[in-house]
């Protein structure tokens, strides 16, 4: 609450809100996330200023400081990294600026360093991806993991949930390869090119986001593999990835829902009114597989 965090109450329509995006908007997750924030601000008549750090963490720290110097009194941050926020947290605390983090978490104490974290249950996403993999491989086979970027909770939690579920439910599945594709399409492609050299008979690939999974499809195609020969499961729920399920190249996609606008502004509004805001707000994620991909395609982004 406002009392615990410090500062004065406010009406959202009287303050300027700053939104800091982390990654370039070539990834539909980022496009949809930013759009959701922009749309909700417009709908509520809130004065919003935005920035995009293009995957450069030093830039993002600068961006948020800039947002504050441009008069942002509430901050919504999609953090690139989970650590390294001290300069921003100190400055925001000195000026009683509430911070809401979306999609990735900032390491720190809720209600002290920031108001709340709004995002998915990433451990659960990993478990759900594992279920899809177990289904695709009938519980037997060798699997590669294309890890997301290092330095954030999403990558570690998606890894943790996947490993946990495979170990508990599918002793016949072995993880034989793990490398980061940095959450990018090019990264996923080049890591998969190495993978098919070192593990030509790989049975499954768990790509920790759709962009890397789509890169993996390009690499497998280039290596002469047929659709379905390697079972791919990914996370996000972009249109292109779900279309790949329909086409047979991807087996399953666990959604990571980026539509944080309504939740974020509702949290900011409640906080400004002195009401209690939960320290973690978990958004609902869908899942796509061969049984529903075609009819659910309109929900993909």
Q: Which is nearer to ligand GYE, 53 or 154 (CB)?
A: 154
Query: Which span (23-31, 69-77, 215-223, 264-272) binds ligand GYE, by CB under 6 A?
Result: 23-31
76: phi then psi, degrees, rounded to nearest 5: -115, 120
Q: Which is nearer to ligand GYE, 188 or 272 (CB)?
A: 188
Element (H, E) at 239: helix 239-247
Q: Does 113 bind ligand GYE (CB under 6 A)?
A: no
Q: Which are the contacts of 168, defined by CB distance < 8 A and separation ≥ 6?
A: none
Q: Does 183 bind ligand GYE (CB under 6 A)?
A: yes
Alpha-carbon separation of residue 43 from 48, 112, 125, 262 (angstroms):
11, 30, 31, 10
- Binding mask 198-237 toward ligand GYE (x if CB under 6 A, else -) reads -----------x-x-----------------------xx-
Element (H, E) at 144: strand 141-147
- Closest approach of Cβ 123 to ligand GYE, in Å? 13
Which of 5, 10, 104, 257 binds ligand GYE (CB under 6 A)? It is 104
Residue 165 CA to its chain's centroid (Å): 20
Which of 12, 17, 21, 23 binds ligand GYE (CB under 6 A)? It is 23
Q: Does 256 bind ligand GYE (CB under 6 A)?
A: yes
- Binding mask 130-169 toward ligand GYE (x if CB under 6 A, else -) reads ------------------------x---------------
Spatial distance between the Cα atoms of 300 and 279, rounded to a whole number of angstroms? 28
- Radius of gyration from C-alpha coordinates of the chain: 20
Spatial distance between the Cα atoms of 203 and 77, rounded to a whole number of angstroms? 38
Q: Does 125 bind ligand GYE (CB under 6 A)?
A: no
- Closest approach of Cβ 22 to ligand GYE, in Å? 8
Q: Rounded to a whole number, what is the distance in angstroms from the first to the last CA of the chain?
A: 34
Q: Which is nearer to ligand GYE, 56 or 199 (CB)?
A: 56
Which of 5, 10, 29, 177 binds ligand GYE (CB under 6 A)? It is 29
Q: Are 19 and 48 in contact (CB under 8 A)?
A: yes
Structure tokens that stand for 277 in this block: 């805001």
Spatial distance between the Cα atoms of 226 and 182, rounded to a whole number of angstroms? 25
Q: Does 117 bind ligand GYE (CB under 6 A)?
A: no
Spatial distance between the Cα atoms of 277 and 266, rounded to a whole number of angstroms? 9
Q: Does 27 bind ligand GYE (CB under 6 A)?
A: yes
Residues of this chain that interact with ligand GYE (CB under 6 A) are: 23, 27, 29, 103-104, 154, 183, 209, 211, 235-236, 256
């Amino acid at each position: 609450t406002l009392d615990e965090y410090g500062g004065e109450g406010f009406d959202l329509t009287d303050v300027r809100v700053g939104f800091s995006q982390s990654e370039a908007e070539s990834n539909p997750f980022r496009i949809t996330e930013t759009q959701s924030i922009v749309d909700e601000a417009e709908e509520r008549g809130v004065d919003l200023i935005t920035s995009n750090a293009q995957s450069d963490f030093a830039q993002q720290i600068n961006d948020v400081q800039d947002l504050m110097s441009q008069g942002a009194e509430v901050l919504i941050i999609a953090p690139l990294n989970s650590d390294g926020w001290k300069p921003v947290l100190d400055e925001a605390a000195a000026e009683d600026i509430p911070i809401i983090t979306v999609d990735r978490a900032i390491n720190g104490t809720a209600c002290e360093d920031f108001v709340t974290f709004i995002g998915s249950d990433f451990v659960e996403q990993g478990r759900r991806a594992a279920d899809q993999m177990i289904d695709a491989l009938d519980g037997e086979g060798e699997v590669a993991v294309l890890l997301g970027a290092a330095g954030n909770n999403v990558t570690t939690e998606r890894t943790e949930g996947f490993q946990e579920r495979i170990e508990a439910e599918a002793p016949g599945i072995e993880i034989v390869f793990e490398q980061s594709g940095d959450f990018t399409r090019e990264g996923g492609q080049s890591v998969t090119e190495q993978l098919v050299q070192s593990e030509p008979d790989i049975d499954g690939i768990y790509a920790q986001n759709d962009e890397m999974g789509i890169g993996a499809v390009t690499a497998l195609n280039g290596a002469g593999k047929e659709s379905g020969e390697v079972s791919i499961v990914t996370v996000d729920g972009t249109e292109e990835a779900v279309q790949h399920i329909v086409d047979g190249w991807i087996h399953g996609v666990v959604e990571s829902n980026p539509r944080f606008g309504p939740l974020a502004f509702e949290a900011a509004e409640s906080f400004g009114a002195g009401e209690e805001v939960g320290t973690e707000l978990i958004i609902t994620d869908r899942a796509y597989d061969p049984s529903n991909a075609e009819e659910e395609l309109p929900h993909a982004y």
